[in-house]
Chains A and B, each alone.
Chain A
Amino acid sequence: MPDSAATAAAKPSENAGDSDSIATVCEMCFWKCGIKAQLRDGRVQALSGNPDHPLSRGRLCPRGVGGLGSLYDPDRLSQPMIRVGERGGQKWRPATWEEALDRTAEGLRGVAAHYGPEAIALFYHGAGGSFFKTLVKGLGSANIAAPSYAQCRGPRDVGFELTYGESVGSPEVVDMANARAMALIGTHLGENMHNTAVQDFTDGLRRGMRLIVADPRYSVAAGKADYWLPVRPGTDIALLLGWANVIIQNDWYDREYVASNSVGFDQFAAEVARYTPDAVYLETGIKPQVLVDTARELAQAAPHAVIHPGRKTTWYGDDAQRSRAVALVNALLGNWGQPGGFYLSSSAGLKGHPQQPPAPAHRAPADREAGQFPFAGSTLASGLREATLTGKPYPLKAWMVYSSNLPMVLPDPRRTRAAIQKLDFLVAIDILPAEITGWADVVLPECTYLERHDDLIAPWYREPYVALRQPVIEPLGESKPGWWMAKELARRLGLESHFPWEHPTDLHQARLLASGFSLEQYQSLKQRGVLRVDADPLYQPKDALYQFATPSGKIEFWSQQLADQGFDPVPVYRRPEQPGPGQFRLLTGRAPVHTFGRTTNNAMLLEQFPENEVWVNRRAAADLGLRSGDRVMLRNQDDVTTGPVKVKATERIRADCVYMVHGFGHQDRRLRRAYRNGGDDTAVTTRFKTDPLMGGTGMNLNFVSLEKQESGNEA
């Protein structure tokens, strides 16, 4: 391999024009803030928040600023590679783009010819995935999944869909800036860093918002809370239904609102009557008086009060029901469409390319058996892996993996490795040599978000907009943008018609014109990075009747849909399995300077957060003879280990669990800074429970013991 992508000569992109600043969109995480890139002598000098962009408002998070560390990472993949030797043997030879794309097309064509096009699966994460989705759909496969559903936000979305008929979206429609009281259930805002979410959260705090944080760990958010509830892990449903019961028993809810906007309230009230403060205390460890006081705080501030629905909600396998409990306490607060509750979002209404042909007919995805996971609203990445492994309901024989490091994303990586060995072909498209590229037959190096166009970005939000990702410099090394690869593959596979544009700029223009925007507006979008459009009203009058998209048209306290499928129509708390002696439940979370394993090789960000630590309650650590700075191996109940990881002995966590930031402990040597730095929580996440409603994978079911390492032993 040549030295590195970063040493290659860089030319400024044509977008630079006469100005030394280009507006584009960040992809250091998936919030997609508008940024401005400053150029000097063909190098990107600095990144800052775009003041015109509603998600940045001129501000930026540490990862956004540190994007240069990813752009100029010397470990970047810099040329296409083709595997030599056995799969996973980590031996490749460099290839030309022509050869690598030919080989990829041949691999996909072979599988499609032999097993049908539905045997091809795409895993993706991020904006660039859209072009590969078009490709795989065009081939005739619906086996397309982002792990951000079944491994992250899916249960939350389903809980809200079952209750309100719609999900809270991303960015979440939580009106934090105007909330007078808010409760967080494990949501660690501030450590889980999304620029606008933190802006709104701190706006709310400055305006005097009362804050209740339920978390087994004293998070940064807990440090700002009026009430920290160090809840026993896995007992959140009891807590939530306890709040519901206290609010109902004390008549602290708006009877008229509930009567006119909901169905099934009486059945719900009868079901939750058993969650008395005393009963809830026995499960959660939260004192009865604290339960009552916090319920009162929320109810008194209603409807300007909200339980935040969170984001990563795949914890115990009953997560859609827990999210429904969150949705229902919110319903008692009457906060839908209210300031300080859930605002009503709108979008720019962007249409697709007018010449985009419909995708061919396809077989139902292989991620589940017929009738399984009836409320799944998206294809399950974990389900595609199971189909690959078991051949049921039908076999998957080729994986295309775009920017999703599956061995550190899907629970039980042993199953991921076994599934990969069943494949005829695996192509990985990535920026860094993440673990998944180590299993690939062909590796296609993509350039970063600062070197490429992606499709237009136009989410539902309080201030709707269209944003443009455009290159700031030309791709480094031989890396190429995803759109170019997808089009080249389409040409080889006879799918040109699915890409009815020469260049993404043509796609952007066609979509904007088809949506009623003008060419002048397109020019302005290129200059400013964003086009703002008028928003629909954020709130509705308190007594207005909102037409909810549920079967009843109302908020469903009692769900006929769930009853019909044999599930609990009202959420029920069931105690999860508890760790045994010497074991701790492994909980995971995020640090504000890292996005999973994607940034843990970024030198700028590592300087601020060099490695993950395992947080252990100080007294529990002392009992084990552990002190801060000691290194331990984590061994789970399946005898799988990870580490060594540094111990953080702290008062900031309960004694029955330990905590780690996700994304460290990479095992690919080519990531020179991230290789074996810290511990990989996914490695010891061999246990998981699949949510029967929607297929999400609850992953907080792994119990670890801590084994002290001799100092200096890194073997």
Chain B
Amino acid sequence: MKRDGSVRYGMAVDTRSCVGCSACVLACKSENDVPDGHARRWVNQIVSGTFPELKMSIWSDSCQHCDDAPCVSNCPTGSSHVDSASGTVQVDRSRCTGCKACMVSCPYNARFVHPDGFVDKCTLCLHRLEQGRSTACAEVCPASAIVVGDLNDPASRVSRMLRLRKWRQQKTAAGTNPKFFLVD
């Protein structure tokens, strides 16, 4: 991983491929020692229409690592911050008082209070990205539905995917500029 501030990591989930199996959720919990009863990711399964005219959308969801993250601007201690080397949103546990201002301001409901008192959420497996590995969720996914990479690098898989296919972002009205894309 380059550390000159030129890297901007993001995630794309292919809703056509995702089968909603939860392997990503479990792999994330295992990788990141997420405590029982909590999760940094979850699976959405939305069905619309009436029998037999139905539509389904499934995707693995998490923190959107917004460019204009309200969890960061609303954090009174500076614990929630954008990691300048990766563009990801991170929580500095030592500075977090567990006040929940970030949780209230997150439009994606992506955060929870860890039993040890700090607020926790997806780190985009920054510790793995720094070693040149992908996230635990992307690595495990049997449907290859999760793609993580540098949005600033036009040759990255995620950039190519977003160039070639139709994508959308969630809750754009919130104006947070998420770096999380649903590819249909």
Footprint of B on A, CB under 8 Å?
A: 45-49, 58-62, 64-66, 68, 189-191, 193, 195-196, 198-199, 201-203, 205-206, 218, 220-224, 228, 230, 592-593, 603-605, 607-609, 617-618, 650-654
Contacts and interface: CB of A to CB of B under 8 A. Distances in A.
Contacts of B21: 61-62, 190, 193, 198, 592-593
A205 B140 contact: no
Given A60-B27, A62-B21, A65-B30, A224 B139 contact: no
Contact of A49 (B52, B56, B58, B140): B140
Contact of A191 (B19, B36, B144): B19
25 contacts: A60-B142, A62-B26, A66-B26, A68-B30, A190-B20, A190-B21, A191-B19, A193-B21, A195-B142, A198-B142, A198-B143, A218-B51, A218-B54, A218-B56, A220-B45, A223-B55, A605-B26, A607-B36, A607-B37, A607-B39, A608-B22, A651-B51, A651-B54, A652-B54, A653-B51
B22 A62 contact: yes
B56 A592 contact: no
Contact of B144 (A61, A62, A202, A222): A202
B19 A608 contact: no
A603 B36 contact: yes
A618 B51 CA distance: 9
Contact of A220 (B25, B55, B58, B140): B58
B63 to A, nearest CB: 19
B51 A230 contact: yes
A610 B39 CA distance: 15
A672 to B, nearest CB: 15
B142 A651 contact: no
Contacts of B58: 220, 223
B16 A61 contact: no
A59 B19 contact: no
B56 A220 contact: yes
A230 B19 contact: no
Interface in B106-147: 139-145
Nearest to A38: B30
B94 interface: no
Nearest to B43: A608
A244 to B, nearest CB: 24
Contacts of A60: 23, 27, 140, 142
A203 B142 CA distance: 10
Give the residue among A62, A189, A222 with the most B Cβ atoms within 10 A. Answer: A62
A653 B52 CA distance: 8
B173 interface: no
A592 B19 CA distance: 9
A59 B140 contact: yes
Given A61-B21, A190-B20, A218-B47, A199 B27 contact: no
Nearest to A609: B22
Contacts of A191: 19
Contacts of A608: 22, 25-26
B17 interface: yes
B20 A592 contact: yes
A228 B55 CA distance: 10
Q: Which of A617, A652, A654 has the most chain B CB atoms closer than 10 A to its own CB? A: A652
Contacts of B145: 202
A196 B140 CA distance: 12
A199 B142 contact: yes
Contact of A228 (B36, B50, B52, B140): B52
A202 B27 CA distance: 20
